[in-house]
Amino acid sequence: MAALVKQAREAQAAWGALTPYERIKAILPVRDRVLDRAERFANVVHREVGKPNVEVVLGEVLPTADVVTYWADSIEEMLDPQEIALDPLSYPGKKGALHREARGVVALITPWNYPVALPLRTLLPALLAGNAVLFKPSEISPRSGALVAELFEGLLPKGVLTLVQGGGEIGAALSSADVDLVVFTGSVATGRKVAHACAERLSPCALELGGKDAAIVLADANLDRAANGVVWGALTNAGQNCAAIERVYVEKAVAEAFSAKVVALVKSLRENIDVGPLATEAQRSIVVKHVDDAKNSGGKMLAGGEKGEKGYAFSPAVLSVENDDSALMRDETFGPVIPISIVDNAEQAIARANASRYGLTASIWSKKVKVAEKLAKQLRAGVVTINNHAFTGALPNAPWSGFGETGYGITNSALALDALTRPRFVLVDKNRAKRELWWYPYTPTLDVIAYAFCALRSKSTGIFRKIGAIFTLARAVPKRLMGG
Ligand code: NAD
């Protein structure tokens, strides 16, 4: 690993020294390459993780093209030095600017559930900002990872992007290597290990971890839209989505009608066309365990919930659940299950939605948009959508982040650059005076000036004392500048 990091570091020096425009020119072909290879991506991802081909094209290929366009259009301006305003009276002759420098060598460790879109939404801004990247895809989706790396073939100098294949031990080695930043997307348990490894080296990491998203359906919701949206939000990618709806809180007045619509929709879904199998047996056994646990705690099956014959199939399940005491309502399920729970009112729904270790996204379904917007402010979630769910991960200009154990990483939008670059403040001083007011020697005149500034700036100082301070400064500052 050390040799790969060394190679990346050497390559980064030259890559980071290019102008953003030169880097954009090098990387821009990725946009059409990903679109032109849509079918290949769809087939490979489908074979590796089982999702329907159309989900790969809609959820991974097309959004990636948007990601390239967004960063290519905006990175130059984002990296431009920004002037920092300085008070000319306190700091005469000085000009300061914030420069964003590439972080250096970035390790990118990703999961299998969106094996194309997820790595690319970090790879593109990381590379365009001038970093070198060591990219480790999940061992469950290595071919998809290889296709992602191939998008850059012939576009980058050797060492700027390195594909590192392997499992947990390789991820651990990368997190402990001499890199400048680890960007990690995956489970809370692994994220914690990565955070420990980075803390040992006092190196930053950006963590995007699990979720337990809630959807809140209010009595005045458009029930058809809410049912369609909740079913898609819970079952797309067979529920193996960090932002899958894993809890539904519905107001009593519409609970029966809403549940009936959800059940009818779920029963109409076609195996492998609308909902694929789970990606691994390990994932399926978690789902089975959660459903069993909910049933044992009083939950009632309303649809599905059976293991299928082929692959790791599991028929999409709907349950009515009365409380949040089971694993199904507490822990990340990552599978095609919709638990519906009845609440008395919006306040109760918000309280139950917020009572989670996670806090990725949440949705409110209501026709009263103003009321929903007010409620949105009370939700402990990095993304709140009103009358929709989860799709905003595909918007390159909208930040994606979370609360609590979902981690503190931010992807998409200019905010992602806070991790991928480091700030350098550069100050230029054109003041020709022999010395600054605050330099040596410390004299009684300097004492007088310091206290006069305090009196002048404090809001509690009376007007007469302020005028007195101005006169004091008018006398003392010139004296001080003359060496007094
Ligand atoms: P995982 O934690 O098992 O693995 C993720 C990656 O970490 C893989 O590449 C794996 O090889 C690597 N890894 C394993 N052990 C490691 C170690 N000790 N040190 C460093 N790396 C190691 O997660 P998964 O099952 O692949 O992915 C599913 C999880 O990802 C879910 O919890 C899901 O919610 C989360 N996720 C979050 C987001 C988000 O944006 N917040 C997006 C997608 C997925």
Any atom of ligand 1 within 6 Å of the Cβ of 185: yes
**Rounded to 5 degrees, what angle do the CA atoms 121, 6, 190 make?**
50
Whole-prediction pTM: 0.94
| Sheet arrangement for strand 132-136 | 161-163, 132-136, 105-109, 181-185, 205-208
Taking the C-alpha atoms of residue 327 and residue 482, their distance in angstroms, rounded to an integer, is 74
β-sheet bridge partners, residue 144: none
Residues 6+ apart with CB under 8 A from 177: 1, 2, 5, 107, 134
* Residue type at 23 in one-letter notation: R
Q: How far, in Å, is the centroid of ligand 1 from the Cα of 409?
A: 13
Residues 6+ apart with CB under 8 A from 484: 443, 445, 476
Burial of 483 (0-12, 13-18, 19+ CB in 10 A): exposed
Taking the C-alpha atoms of residue 295 and residue 337, their distance in angstroms, rounded to an integer, is 13
Beta strands in 299-405 (DSSP E): 300-303, 317-320, 337-343, 361-365, 383-386
Q: Tell me the CA end-to-end span of the chain in Å, nearest whole number.
A: 60
Atom of ligand 1 nearest to the CA of 191: 2
Substitution site in 170, 183, 185 for ligand 1 pocket (most atoms within 8 Å of beta carbon): 185
- Provide the pLDDT for residue 120: 98
- Provide the pLDDT for residue 433: 87
| DSSP 8-state code for residue 261 | H
- Provide the pLDDT for residue 166: 98
Any atom of ligand 1 within 6 Å of the Cβ of 210: yes
Catalytic residue of the set 48, 55, 205, 242: 242
Catalytic residue of the set 60, 208, 246, 251: 208
Taking the C-alpha atoms of residue 464 and residue 455, their distance in angstroms, rounded to an integer, is 10
Taking the C-alpha atoms of residue 286 and residue 163, their distance in angstroms, rounded to an integer, is 30
- Provide the pLDDT for residue 420: 98
Asked if 242 is an active-site residue, the reply is yes
Q: How far, in Å, is the centroid of ligand 1 from the Cα of 418?
A: 22
Asked if 139 is an active-site residue, the reply is no
Q: How far, in Å, is the centroid of ligand 1 from the Cα of 20?
A: 31
Substitution site in 187, 280, 332 for ligand 1 pocket (most atoms within 8 Å of beta carbon): 187
Q: What is the mean pLDDT of each run of 10 residues along the chain (484 residues)?
A: 97 98 98 98 96 96 98 97 94 96 98 98 98 98 98 98 98 98 98 98 97 98 98 97 98 98 97 94 96 94 91 95 93 97 97 98 98 97 97 97 97 97 97 90 96 95 94 94 85
- Provide the pLDDT for residue 457: 92
Substitution site in 113, 246, 405 for ligand 1 pocket (most atoms within 8 Å of beta carbon): 113
Atom of ligand 1 nearest to the CA of 109: 9
Q: Is-contact 362 381, C-beta < 8 A?
A: yes
Any atom of ligand 1 within 6 Å of the Cβ of 139: yes
- Provide the pLDDT for residue 484: 86
Taking the C-alpha atoms of residue 465 and residue 468, their distance in angstroms, rounded to an integer, is 5
Place of tokens 């199904």: 328
